[in-house]
Amino acid sequence: MSMRDEILAKVRGAVSSTPVEKRHMAVQQRMDELEVGVQPYEISKKAEMIDLFVQKAEAAAATVVKCAASKVEGEVLDYLRSNNLPLEIKTGENPDLERYKIGKHKLLSVETGRTHGDDMVTISTAACGVAETGTLALTSGADNPSSLNFLPENHIVILKQSDIALHQEAVWELLREKYGKGGMPRTMNFITGPSRSADIEQTMILGAHGPIRLHIIVVSN
């Protein structure tokens, strides 16, 4: 018997006296039903959801601005200037950014691709904003390489207001729609505020290995 089969046989012998066929049915049922558990909020109005998202993201030390699609590039420039950063950004091969006309402004230099750690500022787009915790959901791909989320000191994330959902489970529905049941992108990142560590004397300090600042631009439709 292979090591795999030995371990599985040992587990099978220990877990239950119920016949394995019966247990297979119970497991299949659970995988089909995808039952949602206990959730913390009951909010149905979109405006309240958006407020909650902003409140929670700010509580996690992210900065948030809201603007119209036509103003996104202006917000990016404002952010760079107010933080005394060079007017250069790295972003993925992201068709969404065309819509926001990022890079049309001749002051801002835009490079596309992954980052190797020498970019000060990167821009990504979020697939979803989760209001319950102020969390962004980002899926990896040519449009949003994961290195952009972790290597720079400043990470700007653009989130469409219509993509804000109340609870985390909304993201799973979205992924199943896009990648098929059981399918996933290589990496799905939940990001809640900039990186931090409390490993020295339990004092929470922002800016551990990931970004020191996380700036979220919520785009109204």
Partner 1 sequence: MKITTPEFKKNAVEALQDEQLQKAMRHVRGNFIKKRADAAAAIDNFEAMRDRARDIKNHTLDNLDIYLEKFEERVQAQGGHVHWAATAKDAREIFLKICQDKGAKSVTKGKSMITEEIELNDFMIENDIEPVETDLGEYIIQLRGEHPSHIIAPAVHLNMDQVRDEFREHHTHLPEDRPMEDPQSLLTEARGILRQKFINADIGVTGANFLIAETGTSVIVTNEGNGDLTQILPKVHVVFASLEKVVPTLEDMSQILRVLARSATGQEMSVYTTLSSGPKRQSDLDGPEEYHVILLDNGRSSMLGTEFQEMLRCIRCGACMNHCPVYHALGGHAYGWVYPGPMGSVLSPGLTGVDKTGHMPNASTFCGRCQEVCPVRIPLPKLMRNWREKEFEQHLSPSSHRRNLKLWAWVTKRPGLYRLVTKVSRLGLSVMSGSKGYASWLPLAGEWTKHREMPQPEGGTFMSEWQKRGGKS
- Cβ neighbours of residue 87 closer than 8 Å, sequence gap 6 or more: 77, 80, 81, 107, 108, 109
CB of 171 to partner 1, least distance (A): 8
Q: How many CB atoms lie within 10 A of CB 217?
A: 24
Least CB distance to partner 1 at residue 126 (A): 14
CB of 220 vs partner 1, minimal distance in Å = 25
We find the least distance from the C-beta atom of residue 62 to partner 1, in angstroms, to be 10
Q: Which helix (H) or strand (E) holds 95?
A: helix 95-99
User: Locate tokens 């190797």: which residue?
Assistant: 116
- Our CB check for partner 1 shows the closer of 71 and 168 to be 168
What is the spatial distance between Cα 213 and Cα 62, in angstroms, rounded to a whole number?
Answer: 7
Q: How far is CA 213 from the centre of its chain?
A: 15
Least spacing, CB of residue 77 vs partner 1, in Å: 25
| Beta carbon nearer to partner 1, 82 or 202 | 202
How would you classify the pairing of strands 135-139 and 196-197?
Answer: unpaired
Closer to partner 1 by CB, 4 or 106: give it.
Answer: 4
Given the complex with partner 1, which of 41 and 81 has the nearer CB atom?
A: 41
Q: Tell me if 102 sits within 8 A of 81, measured CB to CB.
A: no
What phi and psi values does residue 30 have, to the nearest 5 degrees? -65, -40
Nearer to partner 1, 38 or 107 (CB): 38
Query: Rounded to an integer, what distance in angstroms lies between the CA atom of residue 22 and that of residue 29?
Result: 11
